[in-house]
Amino acid sequence: MNELTILTTLAVVHFVALMSPGPDFALVVQNATRYGRQTGLYIALGLSCGILLHSLLSLTGVSYLVHQQPTLFALLQLAGGSYLFYLGYGALKSTWAKVKHSAESEQASEQTSLLLSNKRQAFSRGFATNILNPKALVFFVSLMSSLVPAGMSLAGKGGALIILWGISLAWFSFLAWALSTSRMQKKITSLAIYVDGLCGVLFSVIGAGILWQSTTALAAQF
């Protein structure tokens, strides 16, 4: 298999994986619909940079070494699961506040909105959500080890990094743009509470599942 075929296969597999519902997808949907295009685009940039780092660590073998160390990988799972569960808790808390329509909750929601309108905050949340997701680490280790041969040229590996980062940025940016058009915003406004609730459940379930796996793995070692 020549390098062009390898890169094409890598791009297709990665793009299909990006479109599947998960924490990255949910984060863009939730924040682009709630805070608008700028926040959604910076979250997309953060997510794509997280993917770039995962790809680089996988190509250099660092992620593989982490995956082969049960205690270290379990600790990474613990951190990632806790962060995703925290995002889920925050989304569900916001949803419950909107249901109650209390003045205090509305004020807190406005403060959170202003905070997430900050570019650095949006970028950091996107980056952290991807890089702390242990499932992403496993995915890229599997992807790189199965599709990218050890003898691939430096130019080919560099091309792989650019492709994975570029496709990720393009897809998440498109998603953020599409969800923040004026027409879409009008349709989504009345559904915002359901979007928050659904994303909150998704984050919480995935986070709780990862936490269970990490605590079980750590308990088995000690």
Span 65-88, pLDDT tens digits: 887 888 888 888 889 889 888 888
Neighbouring residues of 206: CB distance < 8 A, sequence distance ≥ 6: 22, 23, 81, 84, 88, 135
pLDDT at residue 177 in the model: 93
Residues in the chain where the model's pLDDT stays below 50 = 103-115
Residue 104: both structure tokens together? 């205090």
Domain that residue 150 falls in: 3-221
pLDDT at residue 159 in the model: 93
Neighbouring residues of 184: CB distance < 8 A, sequence distance ≥ 6: 178
Q: How far apart are CA 88 and CA 104, in angstroms?
A: 20
What pTM was computed for the model? 0.82
pLDDT at residue 35 in the model: 83
pLDDT at residue 114 in the model: 42
Q: How far apart are CA 212 and CA 210, in angstroms?
A: 5
Residue 55: both structure tokens together? 């790809």
Q: How far apart are CA 55 and CA 77, in angstroms?
A: 18
φ/ψ of 62, rounded to 5, equals -65, -45
The number of folded domains in the chain is 1
